[in-house]
Structure 1
Amino acid sequence: MTLDEIIEYMLSSVPEEYDISVGSFFYDLLYPVAEQIYLLQKRISRLSENTFAVTAEGEYLDRKTAEQNIVRKTATYSKGTLLISGNRGEVILKGAKVAADNVLFEVNETVSITENGSVEVGATCTVSGSAGNVKKGDINRFPITLPGITAVQNITDFTGGYDAESDADLLERYIEKVSRPNVSGNKYHYIEWAKEVSGVGDVKVIPLWNGAGTVKVVIVDADNRPADSELISKVK
Protein backbone atom coordinates (compact mmCIF):
# COMPACT_ATOMS: atom_id res chain seq x y z
CA MET A 1 0.00 0.00 0.00
CA THR A 2 1.08 3.56 -0.67
CA LEU A 3 1.28 6.12 2.14
CA ASP A 4 -1.87 7.83 0.85
CA GLU A 5 -3.74 4.51 0.79
CA ILE A 6 -2.70 3.76 4.38
CA ILE A 7 -3.79 7.14 5.77
CA GLU A 8 -7.05 6.94 3.80
CA TYR A 9 -7.76 3.49 5.23
CA MET A 10 -7.05 4.66 8.80
CA LEU A 11 -9.24 7.77 8.41
CA SER A 12 -12.10 5.66 7.10
CA SER A 13 -12.61 4.28 10.61
CA VAL A 14 -13.14 7.75 12.12
CA PRO A 15 -16.87 8.52 12.74
CA GLU A 16 -18.42 10.70 10.04
CA GLU A 17 -19.26 13.58 12.40
CA TYR A 18 -15.57 14.40 12.84
CA ASP A 19 -13.43 16.45 10.48
CA ILE A 20 -10.74 14.33 8.78
CA SER A 21 -9.46 16.84 6.26
CA VAL A 22 -5.76 17.65 5.95
CA GLY A 23 -4.73 19.66 9.02
CA SER A 24 -7.57 18.38 11.18
CA PHE A 25 -6.95 16.84 14.60
CA PHE A 26 -7.54 13.24 13.43
CA TYR A 27 -5.49 13.68 10.24
CA ASP A 28 -2.52 15.13 12.13
CA LEU A 29 -2.83 12.41 14.77
CA LEU A 30 -2.93 9.48 12.34
CA TYR A 31 -0.50 10.69 9.66
CA PRO A 32 2.73 9.98 11.63
CA VAL A 33 1.41 6.50 12.48
CA ALA A 34 0.58 5.85 8.82
CA GLU A 35 4.03 7.04 7.81
CA GLN A 36 5.73 4.60 10.21
CA ILE A 37 3.52 1.75 8.98
CA TYR A 38 4.51 2.61 5.40
CA LEU A 39 8.24 2.57 6.26
CA LEU A 40 7.89 -0.68 8.18
CA GLN A 41 6.05 -2.20 5.24
CA LYS A 42 8.98 -1.30 2.95
CA ARG A 43 11.50 -2.80 5.38
CA ILE A 44 9.53 -6.04 5.60
CA SER A 45 9.32 -6.21 1.82
CA ARG A 46 13.07 -5.68 1.48
CA LEU A 47 13.77 -8.27 4.17
CA SER A 48 11.65 -10.77 2.26
CA GLU A 49 13.63 -10.11 -0.94
CA ASN A 50 16.92 -10.59 0.90
CA THR A 51 15.97 -14.11 1.93
CA PHE A 52 16.35 -15.30 -1.69
CA ALA A 53 19.72 -15.32 -3.44
CA VAL A 54 18.43 -13.95 -6.76
CA THR A 55 17.08 -10.78 -5.11
CA ALA A 56 19.48 -10.43 -2.15
CA GLU A 57 22.10 -7.69 -2.05
CA GLY A 58 25.29 -6.92 -0.15
CA GLU A 59 25.69 -8.60 3.22
CA TYR A 60 22.42 -10.50 2.76
CA LEU A 61 23.74 -12.10 -0.42
CA ASP A 62 26.98 -12.91 1.45
CA ARG A 63 24.97 -14.76 4.09
CA LYS A 64 23.02 -16.66 1.46
CA THR A 65 26.05 -17.78 -0.55
CA ALA A 66 27.86 -18.75 2.67
CA GLU A 67 25.32 -21.56 2.97
CA GLN A 68 27.16 -23.14 0.02
CA ASN A 69 30.62 -22.19 1.36
CA ILE A 70 30.94 -19.46 -1.27
CA VAL A 71 32.66 -16.34 0.04
CA ARG A 72 32.80 -13.01 -1.79
CA LYS A 73 36.23 -12.39 -3.31
CA THR A 74 37.90 -9.39 -1.70
CA ALA A 75 39.71 -6.59 -3.49
CA THR A 76 43.45 -7.01 -4.06
CA TYR A 77 46.38 -4.57 -4.25
CA SER A 78 48.38 -3.87 -7.40
CA LYS A 79 52.16 -4.33 -7.33
CA GLY A 80 55.13 -3.49 -9.50
CA THR A 81 58.73 -2.27 -9.58
CA LEU A 82 60.09 1.26 -9.17
CA LEU A 83 63.37 2.82 -10.24
CA ILE A 84 64.33 5.52 -7.73
CA SER A 85 67.20 7.92 -8.46
CA GLY A 86 69.23 10.15 -6.15
CA ASN A 87 72.49 10.67 -4.33
CA ARG A 88 74.54 7.59 -3.58
CA GLY A 89 73.86 6.17 -0.14
CA GLU A 90 70.58 7.99 0.42
CA VAL A 91 68.06 5.74 2.19
CA ILE A 92 64.45 5.20 1.12
CA LEU A 93 62.51 3.76 4.03
CA LYS A 94 59.94 1.02 3.77
CA GLY A 95 56.53 2.67 3.43
CA ALA A 96 57.81 5.77 1.62
CA LYS A 97 55.13 7.13 -0.70
CA VAL A 98 55.23 7.69 -4.44
CA ALA A 99 52.37 8.68 -6.69
CA ALA A 100 50.72 8.43 -10.09
CA ASP A 101 48.33 11.39 -10.23
CA ASN A 102 46.28 11.01 -7.02
CA VAL A 103 46.95 7.30 -6.52
CA LEU A 104 49.57 6.52 -3.84
CA PHE A 105 51.97 3.59 -3.60
CA GLU A 106 54.29 2.40 -0.80
CA VAL A 107 57.84 1.12 -1.12
CA ASN A 108 57.94 -2.50 0.05
CA GLU A 109 61.34 -2.46 1.78
CA THR A 110 64.08 -0.12 2.98
CA VAL A 111 66.73 0.39 0.29
CA SER A 112 69.70 2.67 -0.43
CA ILE A 113 70.73 4.43 -3.62
CA THR A 114 73.58 2.46 -5.21
CA GLU A 115 76.81 3.76 -6.72
CA ASN A 116 75.17 4.21 -10.12
CA GLY A 117 72.71 6.71 -8.61
CA SER A 118 69.57 4.58 -8.58
CA VAL A 119 67.93 1.53 -7.04
CA GLU A 120 65.11 -0.80 -8.04
CA VAL A 121 62.50 -1.68 -5.42
CA GLY A 122 59.05 -3.23 -5.34
CA ALA A 123 56.00 -1.18 -4.34
CA THR A 124 52.33 -1.77 -3.57
CA CYS A 125 49.31 0.47 -4.06
CA THR A 126 47.88 1.89 -0.82
CA VAL A 127 44.31 1.31 -1.97
CA SER A 128 42.87 -1.96 -3.17
CA GLY A 129 41.16 -2.44 -6.49
CA SER A 130 41.77 -1.62 -10.12
CA ALA A 131 42.66 2.03 -9.44
CA GLY A 132 46.23 0.92 -8.73
CA ASN A 133 46.75 -0.76 -12.11
CA VAL A 134 48.89 1.91 -13.73
CA LYS A 135 51.04 1.70 -16.84
CA LYS A 136 54.82 1.80 -16.97
CA GLY A 137 56.04 5.36 -16.36
CA ASP A 138 52.81 6.63 -14.75
CA ILE A 139 54.38 6.79 -11.27
CA ASN A 140 56.56 9.89 -11.44
CA ARG A 141 56.53 11.93 -8.22
CA PHE A 142 56.93 11.96 -4.46
CA PRO A 143 53.97 13.42 -2.51
CA ILE A 144 56.50 14.42 0.15
CA THR A 145 60.01 15.43 -0.92
CA LEU A 146 62.70 13.00 0.21
CA PRO A 147 66.15 14.53 0.87
CA GLY A 148 68.71 13.46 -1.70
CA ILE A 149 66.13 11.69 -3.87
CA THR A 150 65.63 13.22 -7.30
CA ALA A 151 63.29 11.04 -9.36
CA VAL A 152 61.06 7.97 -9.41
CA GLN A 153 59.48 5.97 -12.19
CA ASN A 154 57.76 2.62 -12.36
CA ILE A 155 59.71 0.45 -14.78
CA THR A 156 56.93 -2.13 -15.00
CA ASP A 157 53.18 -1.96 -15.28
CA PHE A 158 51.51 -2.24 -11.88
CA THR A 159 49.11 -5.17 -12.01
CA GLY A 160 47.12 -7.47 -9.77
CA GLY A 161 44.71 -4.88 -8.38
CA TYR A 162 41.20 -6.29 -8.64
CA ASP A 163 37.97 -4.83 -7.29
CA ALA A 164 35.89 -6.74 -4.76
CA GLU A 165 33.50 -9.22 -6.33
CA SER A 166 30.21 -7.63 -7.37
CA ASP A 167 26.81 -8.92 -6.30
CA ALA A 168 26.17 -10.07 -9.88
CA ASP A 169 29.39 -12.10 -10.10
CA LEU A 170 28.92 -13.59 -6.63
CA LEU A 171 25.36 -14.62 -7.53
CA GLU A 172 26.62 -16.19 -10.75
CA ARG A 173 29.09 -18.37 -8.81
CA TYR A 174 26.34 -19.33 -6.38
CA ILE A 175 23.97 -20.37 -9.16
CA GLU A 176 26.74 -22.30 -10.89
CA LYS A 177 27.42 -24.30 -7.75
CA VAL A 178 23.81 -25.16 -6.89
CA SER A 179 22.90 -26.02 -10.48
CA ARG A 180 25.94 -28.09 -11.48
CA PRO A 181 27.21 -31.39 -10.04
CA ASN A 182 30.66 -30.12 -8.96
CA VAL A 183 31.92 -33.16 -7.06
CA SER A 184 34.84 -35.61 -7.10
CA GLY A 185 37.16 -33.31 -9.02
CA ASN A 186 35.00 -33.17 -12.14
CA LYS A 187 35.02 -30.34 -14.68
CA TYR A 188 32.71 -28.12 -12.66
CA HIS A 189 34.82 -28.59 -9.55
CA TYR A 190 37.84 -27.12 -11.35
CA ILE A 191 35.75 -24.18 -12.51
CA GLU A 192 34.58 -23.57 -8.93
CA TRP A 193 38.10 -23.78 -7.51
CA ALA A 194 39.55 -21.41 -10.10
CA LYS A 195 36.79 -18.84 -9.68
CA GLU A 196 37.37 -18.73 -5.91
CA VAL A 197 40.62 -16.83 -6.57
CA SER A 198 40.35 -13.03 -6.45
CA GLY A 199 40.97 -11.60 -9.91
CA VAL A 200 39.68 -14.53 -11.97
CA GLY A 201 36.96 -13.50 -14.39
CA ASP A 202 36.11 -16.60 -16.39
CA VAL A 203 37.36 -20.18 -16.64
CA LYS A 204 37.48 -22.88 -19.31
CA VAL A 205 38.36 -26.45 -18.32
CA ILE A 206 39.67 -29.05 -20.78
CA PRO A 207 39.51 -32.58 -19.28
CA LEU A 208 42.05 -35.20 -20.39
CA TRP A 209 43.88 -32.57 -22.43
CA ASN A 210 47.13 -34.55 -22.33
CA GLY A 211 45.88 -38.04 -21.61
CA ALA A 212 44.46 -39.79 -18.57
CA GLY A 213 44.82 -37.99 -15.25
CA THR A 214 45.43 -34.54 -16.79
CA VAL A 215 43.30 -31.43 -17.00
CA LYS A 216 43.94 -27.95 -18.40
CA VAL A 217 42.44 -24.85 -16.75
CA VAL A 218 42.38 -21.70 -18.90
CA ILE A 219 41.58 -18.39 -17.16
CA VAL A 220 41.11 -14.71 -17.91
CA ASP A 221 41.22 -11.96 -15.31
CA ALA A 222 38.28 -9.97 -13.94
CA ASP A 223 38.49 -7.58 -16.91
CA ASN A 224 38.43 -10.49 -19.40
CA ARG A 225 42.09 -9.91 -20.26
CA PRO A 226 44.92 -12.47 -20.28
CA ALA A 227 45.85 -13.39 -16.70
CA ASP A 228 49.27 -12.25 -15.46
CA SER A 229 51.82 -14.66 -14.01
CA GLU A 230 50.89 -13.87 -10.39
CA LEU A 231 47.21 -14.67 -10.95
CA ILE A 232 48.10 -17.88 -12.81
CA SER A 233 50.33 -18.90 -9.91
CA LYS A 234 47.54 -18.30 -7.38
CA VAL A 235 45.12 -20.45 -9.41
CA LYS A 236 47.69 -23.24 -9.67
Structure 2
Amino acid sequence: MESIKPKLRFEISGYYFIGLVALVILGFWPSYFAKFFNGTADFNFYFHFHAAMVTLWIAMLITQPLLIRKKKLTVHRLIGKLSYVVFPLIFISVLLLVHSRHKIDEENLDMRLFVPCKDLIILGTAYFIAIRYRHDINLHARGMVATGIVFIEPALVRFIMNTFGAGLTAYLFTIGIIYALLIGLMIAERHQKRGRWVFPLILILYILVHSVIIFNIHIGIWQAFAKWFFVLPLT
Protein backbone atom coordinates (compact mmCIF):
# COMPACT_ATOMS: atom_id res chain seq x y z
CA MET A 1 0.00 0.00 0.00
CA GLU A 2 1.36 3.40 -0.97
CA SER A 3 2.01 5.63 2.02
CA ILE A 4 0.12 8.92 2.22
CA LYS A 5 2.54 11.83 2.24
CA PRO A 6 1.56 14.76 4.47
CA LYS A 7 0.80 18.09 2.83
CA LEU A 8 1.16 21.64 4.03
CA ARG A 9 -2.35 22.89 4.76
CA PHE A 10 -2.30 26.42 3.42
CA GLU A 11 -6.01 26.84 4.06
CA ILE A 12 -5.28 27.07 7.80
CA SER A 13 -2.37 29.49 7.45
CA GLY A 14 -4.71 32.29 8.55
CA TYR A 15 -4.62 30.92 12.09
CA TYR A 16 -0.83 31.16 12.12
CA PHE A 17 -0.92 34.74 10.91
CA ILE A 18 -2.98 35.63 13.96
CA GLY A 19 0.28 35.01 15.79
CA LEU A 20 1.89 37.60 13.54
CA VAL A 21 -0.52 40.18 14.97
CA ALA A 22 0.72 39.39 18.48
CA LEU A 23 4.34 39.59 17.32
CA VAL A 24 3.78 43.00 15.70
CA ILE A 25 2.20 44.34 18.89
CA LEU A 26 5.06 43.01 21.01
CA GLY A 27 7.75 44.23 18.66
CA PHE A 28 6.38 47.72 18.15
CA TRP A 29 4.87 48.20 21.60
CA PRO A 30 7.60 50.42 23.12
CA SER A 31 8.19 52.51 20.01
CA TYR A 32 4.62 52.88 18.76
CA PHE A 33 1.63 51.39 20.58
CA ALA A 34 2.68 52.24 24.15
CA LYS A 35 3.05 55.92 23.29
CA PHE A 36 -0.69 56.23 22.71
CA PHE A 37 -1.21 55.23 26.33
CA ASN A 38 1.47 57.33 28.00
CA GLY A 39 0.68 60.48 26.03
CA THR A 40 3.98 60.70 24.14
CA ALA A 41 2.66 59.78 20.68
CA ASP A 42 3.93 62.41 18.27
CA PHE A 43 3.95 60.45 15.03
CA ASN A 44 3.45 62.08 11.68
CA PHE A 45 0.98 60.95 9.04
CA TYR A 46 3.46 58.60 7.39
CA PHE A 47 3.73 56.38 10.48
CA HIS A 48 -0.04 55.96 10.69
CA PHE A 49 -0.38 55.45 6.94
CA HIS A 50 2.22 52.67 6.98
CA ALA A 51 0.66 51.04 10.05
CA ALA A 52 -2.78 51.09 8.41
CA MET A 53 -1.55 49.49 5.18
CA VAL A 54 0.36 46.73 6.97
CA THR A 55 -2.66 46.08 9.19
CA LEU A 56 -4.87 45.70 6.12
CA TRP A 57 -2.42 43.26 4.54
CA ILE A 58 -2.12 41.10 7.65
CA ALA A 59 -5.91 41.11 7.96
CA MET A 60 -6.13 39.77 4.41
CA LEU A 61 -3.52 37.11 5.17
CA ILE A 62 -5.70 35.94 8.04
CA THR A 63 -9.01 36.19 6.22
CA GLN A 64 -8.22 34.82 2.76
CA PRO A 65 -7.24 31.24 3.65
CA LEU A 66 -10.18 31.00 6.05
CA LEU A 67 -12.52 32.02 3.22
CA ILE A 68 -11.01 29.27 1.07
CA ARG A 69 -11.52 26.76 3.86
CA LYS A 70 -15.17 27.79 4.18
CA LYS A 71 -15.51 27.78 0.38
CA LYS A 72 -16.42 31.48 0.21
CA LEU A 73 -14.67 31.81 -3.13
CA THR A 74 -16.56 34.87 -4.36
CA VAL A 75 -15.56 36.91 -1.30
CA HIS A 76 -12.03 35.53 -1.53
CA ARG A 77 -11.68 36.78 -5.11
CA LEU A 78 -13.14 40.17 -4.21
CA ILE A 79 -10.62 40.67 -1.40
CA GLY A 80 -7.90 39.41 -3.73
CA LYS A 81 -8.70 42.24 -6.14
CA LEU A 82 -8.46 44.67 -3.22
CA SER A 83 -4.83 43.59 -2.85
CA TYR A 84 -4.11 45.28 -6.19
CA VAL A 85 -4.71 48.57 -4.37
CA VAL A 86 -3.31 47.77 -0.94
CA PHE A 87 -0.05 46.28 -2.21
CA PRO A 88 1.27 49.37 -4.03
CA LEU A 89 0.11 51.49 -1.09
CA ILE A 90 2.34 49.41 1.18
CA PHE A 91 5.30 50.21 -1.07
CA ILE A 92 4.39 53.90 -1.07
CA SER A 93 3.93 53.93 2.71
CA VAL A 94 7.38 52.41 3.29
CA LEU A 95 9.14 54.83 0.95
CA LEU A 96 7.37 57.86 2.42
CA LEU A 97 8.11 56.76 5.97
CA VAL A 98 11.80 56.20 5.25
CA HIS A 99 12.03 59.51 3.40
CA SER A 100 10.45 61.38 6.32
CA ARG A 101 12.84 59.88 8.88
CA HIS A 102 16.19 60.61 7.26
CA LYS A 103 18.00 63.64 5.87
CA ILE A 104 20.43 64.03 3.01
CA ASP A 105 23.31 64.97 5.35
CA GLU A 106 23.16 61.70 7.31
CA GLU A 107 25.85 59.05 6.94
CA ASN A 108 25.22 55.69 5.27
CA LEU A 109 22.12 56.89 3.46
CA ASP A 110 22.38 53.90 1.13
CA MET A 111 22.02 51.45 4.04
CA ARG A 112 19.25 53.47 5.67
CA LEU A 113 17.30 53.07 2.46
CA PHE A 114 18.40 49.51 1.71
CA VAL A 115 17.23 48.01 5.02
CA PRO A 116 13.52 48.69 4.39
CA CYS A 117 13.84 48.27 0.63
CA LYS A 118 15.23 44.75 0.98
CA ASP A 119 11.88 43.81 2.55
CA LEU A 120 10.11 45.38 -0.42
CA ILE A 121 12.26 43.32 -2.80
CA ILE A 122 11.20 40.06 -1.16
CA LEU A 123 7.62 41.20 -0.65
CA GLY A 124 7.37 42.20 -4.31
CA THR A 125 8.83 38.89 -5.47
CA ALA A 126 6.44 36.87 -3.30
CA TYR A 127 3.41 38.89 -4.40
CA PHE A 128 4.40 38.60 -8.07
CA ILE A 129 4.49 34.81 -7.68
CA ALA A 130 1.10 34.82 -5.96
CA ILE A 131 -0.55 36.92 -8.67
CA ARG A 132 1.28 35.40 -11.65
CA TYR A 133 0.13 31.95 -10.55
CA ARG A 134 -3.20 32.95 -8.99
CA HIS A 135 -4.95 30.09 -10.79
CA ASP A 136 -2.49 27.54 -9.40
CA ILE A 137 -3.23 27.02 -5.70
CA ASN A 138 0.15 25.37 -5.10
CA LEU A 139 2.09 28.46 -6.17
CA HIS A 140 -0.45 31.13 -5.25
CA ALA A 141 -0.71 29.95 -1.63
CA ARG A 142 3.06 29.75 -1.20
CA GLY A 143 3.50 33.22 -2.64
CA MET A 144 0.98 34.73 -0.25
CA VAL A 145 2.46 32.91 2.74
CA ALA A 146 5.86 34.30 1.75
CA THR A 147 4.44 37.86 1.78
CA GLY A 148 3.46 37.25 5.40
CA ILE A 149 6.90 35.95 6.31
CA VAL A 150 8.35 39.30 5.21
CA PHE A 151 6.55 41.07 8.06
CA ILE A 152 8.04 38.77 10.70
CA GLU A 153 11.57 40.19 10.63
CA PRO A 154 10.79 43.89 11.36
CA ALA A 155 8.64 42.94 14.34
CA LEU A 156 10.79 40.08 15.61
CA VAL A 157 14.08 41.99 15.52
CA ARG A 158 12.53 44.82 17.55
CA PHE A 159 11.08 42.39 20.08
CA ILE A 160 14.43 40.63 20.54
CA MET A 161 16.32 43.91 20.79
CA ASN A 162 13.80 45.33 23.26
CA THR A 163 14.08 42.19 25.38
CA PHE A 164 17.77 41.30 25.19
CA GLY A 165 19.42 44.49 23.97
CA ALA A 166 20.30 45.89 20.58
CA GLY A 167 23.28 44.69 18.61
CA LEU A 168 24.45 42.48 15.80
CA THR A 169 23.82 39.33 17.85
CA ALA A 170 20.12 40.14 18.14
CA TYR A 171 19.92 40.78 14.40
CA LEU A 172 21.72 37.54 13.58
CA PHE A 173 19.42 35.64 15.93
CA THR A 174 16.42 37.12 14.13
CA ILE A 175 17.84 36.14 10.77
CA GLY A 176 18.46 32.62 12.07
CA ILE A 177 14.80 32.28 13.03
CA ILE A 178 13.65 33.45 9.60
CA TYR A 179 15.98 30.99 7.89
CA ALA A 180 14.88 28.17 10.20
CA LEU A 181 11.24 28.89 9.38
CA LEU A 182 11.86 28.78 5.63
CA ILE A 183 14.00 25.64 5.89
CA GLY A 184 11.31 24.05 8.06
CA LEU A 185 8.70 24.77 5.39
CA MET A 186 11.00 23.33 2.73
CA ILE A 187 11.45 20.13 4.75
CA ALA A 188 7.73 19.86 5.47
CA GLU A 189 6.86 20.00 1.77
CA ARG A 190 9.78 17.94 0.49
CA HIS A 191 7.42 15.29 -0.93
CA GLN A 192 5.23 17.72 -2.85
CA LYS A 193 5.36 17.68 -6.62
CA ARG A 194 4.52 21.32 -7.36
CA GLY A 195 5.55 24.68 -5.96
CA ARG A 196 8.59 23.55 -3.99
CA TRP A 197 10.79 26.22 -5.58
CA VAL A 198 9.03 29.16 -3.93
CA PHE A 199 10.44 28.96 -0.40
CA PRO A 200 14.00 28.15 -1.58
CA LEU A 201 13.83 31.23 -3.82
CA ILE A 202 12.72 33.41 -0.90
CA LEU A 203 15.52 31.98 1.25
CA ILE A 204 18.12 32.77 -1.42
CA LEU A 205 16.84 36.34 -1.68
CA TYR A 206 17.07 36.72 2.10
CA ILE A 207 20.64 35.44 2.13
CA LEU A 208 21.63 37.91 -0.59
CA VAL A 209 20.09 41.00 0.99
CA HIS A 210 21.20 40.08 4.50
CA SER A 211 24.76 39.65 3.22
CA VAL A 212 24.72 43.24 1.97
CA ILE A 213 23.69 44.47 5.41
CA ILE A 214 25.88 42.23 7.58
CA PHE A 215 29.03 42.78 5.53
CA ASN A 216 28.18 46.47 5.03
CA ILE A 217 28.51 46.28 1.26
CA HIS A 218 28.16 49.68 -0.40
CA ILE A 219 27.11 49.63 -4.04
CA GLY A 220 27.92 52.75 -6.02
CA ILE A 221 24.73 52.89 -8.05
CA TRP A 222 22.62 52.37 -4.93
CA GLN A 223 24.50 55.12 -3.07
CA ALA A 224 23.74 57.51 -5.93
CA PHE A 225 20.11 56.43 -5.97
CA ALA A 226 19.79 56.95 -2.20
CA LYS A 227 21.14 60.50 -2.45
CA TRP A 228 18.74 61.24 -5.29
CA PHE A 229 15.82 59.72 -3.36
CA PHE A 230 16.37 61.71 -0.17
CA VAL A 231 16.67 64.97 -2.11
CA LEU A 232 13.22 64.49 -3.60
CA PRO A 233 10.51 66.73 -2.07
CA LEU A 234 8.32 63.79 -1.02
CA THR A 235 7.74 64.52 2.68
Asked whether the two chains share a fold, i.e. TM above 0.5, the reply is: no
What TM-score comes out, normalization by structure 1 length? 0.22
Higher strand share: 1
What TM-score comes out, normalization by structure 2 length? 0.22
Higher helix share: 2
Higher relative contact order (CA 8 A, sep 6+): 2
